[in-house]
Amino acid sequence: MEMKKENIKKEDMILNHGLLITVFTIIYFIFQQFIYPFVYIILVLTIVTLGDKILKILPFLEMSEMSEDIFVSITFLFCLLIVAVISYFLGKWTEKELKRTNKYTLGFIMSAILFYFIYKYYTEKVDPYAIILDSLKIVYLYCGAMHIIFSIGLLFGKHIDILINKLKKYTKLKMKIEKNK
């Protein structure tokens, strides 16, 4: 009788973890496919609008075409960095919530999602009638990059924290040595 109860508990635990991973995968995939690109576009539009308003307020900042291109490139990189940091910390937060699940299963699911984005990148066709983007290749490339950053936060967040703490201790020790000289 005791053995049957233990088997039932193990089966329930496996079912709960499987359900948790399935729900996580579906929600994460929707989030990755739609929300990350949307947040990136909103950030870019906000910063470009602010930059345009700053240029109108300060007319003496007459910028050449090249400096405007540099400003736009820096804006895009800044927005990409913000979303990448959000993605990494979302992965770290999710690691804490999913710490009871099997890391190998989670790694397999993350690999499958990455392969999906790579597959979509290489099989996406060019649409000659598109208005903004002639192809969604750049979106799939972006989603793949954010997925890699999320996966690093999810699967290796603790190791990165340990590495950062060691670097902090090393720099503090180095500063103490330089002060004593």
> What type of residue is 13?
M
Residue 16 in 3-state DSSP?
helix
Confidence of residue 141 (pLDDT cuts 50, 70, 90): confident
Q: How many domains does the chain have?
A: 1
Residue 165 lies in a domain: no
Mean pLDDT across 89-110: 79
13 pLDDT higher than 70: no
Q: Domain range spanning residue 95? A: 2-154
Residue 6 lies in a domain: yes
Residue 58 lies in a domain: yes
Residue 177 lies in a domain: no
What is the per-residue DSSP string for 66-118?
HHHHHHHHHHHHHHHHHHHHHHHHHHHHHHHHTTTS-HHHHHHHHHHHHHHHH
Residue 135 lies in a domain: yes
pTM greater than 0.85: no
In this structure, how many other beta carbons lie within 10 angstroms of the beta carbon of residue 121?
A: 18
Residue 181 lies in a domain: no
Residue 175 lies in a domain: no
